[in-house]
Structure 1
């Protein structure tokens, strides 16, 4: 089955939006790293902040990989369009498949980073007493117990 030049072009808006989201995540993390760095320098109990810094460092690596895979998917789409234009349909199909796999891998790495983001927030909340992680059923039970 041959693809038209419009097929890889359809990925452009999707990849662009995902790359924008990745950039926003990177900017938020870099801001957090800077604030934690200042706190780390001033704080006496550095072991409290150490876990957050390790988490952020790993998440920054994941975001870098997400962005690289997204850019690779974007480049594959452009190259695929050129191969279609030049009439090399078999090569275009393989490049398009590679671009789709790269985009899918980027989204999978994004899922990993989102999971780590949730763990980082849990770490942030862990030093507050009385803020256990209740499930919806526990919340409803507590509400009925009060009444």
Structure 2
């Protein structure tokens, strides 16, 4: 096995930063949609809005955990670099491995969130198709 160098965890910085930007954009989009649905619900008290809000709440929570695991991965990458700097290479390998596991968890949560998002959109499409068939 090759020795872990400072450049190895540093390479993940740009990738994790881009992922975190995407996660933050998702989070902000969900927050805006939830605020909009909240206002609509206060006007109409429609149960379908409650289902949408519940779905968005789940997606928002998943996105929060995606962010937490992604940021934790970045934190452990920085810690890895410090441990390499102080010349504890064996410990650095384990810490970096843990950072990779955290990133894997974050990405797995992203897959789950995408599946939920796609399913929610399928329900909307089905509603539109049903409305068109009834015309």
Q: Same fold (TM over 0.5)?
A: yes
RMSD over equivalenced CA pairs, Å: 1.5
Q: Give, in angstroms, the shift of residue 49 of structure 1.
A: 1.0
Compare the two structures and name the one with the higher helix fraction. 2
Q: Give, in angstroms, the shift of residue 50 of structure 1.
A: 1.5
Give the number of equivalent residue pairs: 131
Provide the TM-score with structure 1 as the length reference.
0.84
| Matches for 1:58-77 after TM superposition, within 5 Å | 58-77=58-77
Q: Give, in angstroms, the shift of residue 122 of structure 1.
A: 1.9
The answer for unaligned runs of 5 or more in structure 2 is none
Q: Is the 8 A contact 1:4 1:84 kept in 2?
A: yes
- Separation in structure 1 between the aligned mates of residue 124 and residue 37 of structure 2, nearest angstrom: 12
Q: Is the 8 A contact 1:83 1:91 kept in 2?
A: yes
Q: Give, in angstroms, the shift of residue 20 of structure 1.
A: 0.3
- Separation in structure 1 between the aligned mates of residue 73 and residue 58 of structure 2, nearest angstrom: 23
| Matches for 1:63-142 after TM superposition, within 5 Å | 63-130=63-130
The answer for unaligned runs of 5 or more in structure 1 is 133-147
- Separation in structure 2 between the aligned mates of residue 3 and residue 49 of structure 1, nearest angstrom: 51
Cα deviation digits, residues 84-130 of structure 1 (max 9, x gap): 00001111000000000100110000000011111121222332235
Q: Is the 8 A contact 1:125 1:131 kept in 2?
A: no
Larger Rg: 1
